[in-house]
């Protein structure tokens, strides 16, 4: 399988209609990118964003979905609904969902299954807390989250993995390149164990946590890093564009 690198932006709960000018700017600048670009705006903007990116290669994604396709789940949005609105991917198991909404890996796996059934790429997030990092538990935490969050049927085509240390998200702190390389190599070896060496190579492993134009190139040069999931620096095209360029 041809594995293209991926620059993914997570706008979180930020953005109203005027913010779509940032997406328009990315569409205008990155006409024939050699990497994949994914923008995940809030759900309210997905349909408009999909319209703006329709004639470009930029994919639009969501930030969460329900595990069921439909039903009595007030306020929730299903994977088929996201696909219908124009999404091609969905972030699942972001640490803010795991922490603020008590999402377990088991639930993330059910959501990933729903995403796959709706032909959405599941972008599954994993990451340790600072206490876990300092307690030398990082690899155990990642192993548990990885094993629990990927449903049967997971492939490198329908799933992307993002390693996002919780203590690095929105803090300006980043792990050392050695620490990033260690966790990414570990994730790849666990994917080898479960899916086989050939299949494991198909997965794109993103790093996320305070990626900025200033540190993107060195992070992307780290082995087993196939791109980034970017929060704050994806909100403005002037910040996200150089990150995309660093990946190309």
Instruction: Report 149-168 residues binding ligand PEP (CB under 6 A).
Output: 164
Residue 206 found at the interface with ligand PEP (CB under 6 A)? no
Residue 219 found at the interface with ligand PEP (CB under 6 A)? no
Residue 230 found at the interface with ligand PEP (CB under 6 A)? yes
* Member of 169, 200, 246, 247 binding ligand PEP (CB under 6 A): 169
Residue 174 found at the interface with ligand PEP (CB under 6 A)? no
Binding-site entries for substrate: 10-12, 170, 210, 231-232
* Member of 232, 241, 243, 247 binding ligand PEP (CB under 6 A): 232
Closest CA to 224 of 5, 2, 1: 5
Residue 210 found at the interface with ligand PEP (CB under 6 A)? yes
- Phi/psi for 185 (5° steps) reads -65, -40
CA angle centred on 189, ends 185 and 90, rounded to 5°: 80
Residues 132 and 130: their CA atoms lie apart, in Å, by 5
Q: Determine whether 116 is an active site residue.
A: no
Of 94, 96, 103, 128, which residue is the catalytic one?
Answer: 94
Residue 231 found at the interface with ligand PEP (CB under 6 A)? yes
Q: Using the 8-state DSSP alphabet, how is residue 60 labeled? A: E
Residues 110 and 120: their CA atoms lie apart, in Å, by 13
Reading phi first (left if > 0) and then psi (alpha if -120 to 50, else beta), residue 154 is in beta
Residues annotated as catalytic are 94, 164
């Amino acid at each position: 399988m041809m594995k293209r690198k991926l620059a993914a932006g997570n706008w979180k709960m930020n953005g109203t209609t005027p913010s779509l000018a940032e997406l328009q700017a990315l569409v205008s600048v990155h006409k024939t990118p050699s990497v994949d670009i994914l923008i995940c705006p809030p759900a309210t903007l997905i349909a408009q964003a999909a319209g703006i990116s329709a004639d470009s290669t930029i994919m639009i994604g969501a930030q969460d979905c329900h595990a069921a396709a439909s039903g009595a789940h007030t306020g929730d949005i299903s994977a088929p609904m996201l696909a219908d609105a124009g999404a091609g991917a969905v972030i699942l198991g972001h640490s803010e969902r795991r922490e603020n909404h008590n999402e377990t890996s088991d639930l993330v796996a059910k959501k990933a299954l729903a995403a796959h059934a709706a032909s959405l790429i599941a972008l599954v997030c994993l990451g340790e807390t600072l206490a876990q990092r300092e307690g030398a538990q990082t690899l155990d935490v990642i192993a548990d989250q990885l094993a629990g969050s990927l449903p049967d049927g997971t492939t490198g085509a329908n799933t992307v993995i993002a390693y996002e240390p919780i203590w690095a998200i929105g803090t300006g702190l980043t792990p050392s390149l050695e620490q990033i390389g260690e966790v990414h190599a570990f994730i790849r070896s666990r994917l080898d164990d479960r899916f086989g060496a050939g299949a494991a190579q198909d997965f794109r492993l993103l790093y996320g946590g305070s990626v900025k134009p200033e540190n993107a190139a060195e992070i992307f040069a780290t082995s087993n890093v196939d791109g980034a999931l970017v929060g704050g620096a994806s909100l403005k095209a002037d910040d996200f564009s150089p990150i995309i360029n660093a990946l190309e």
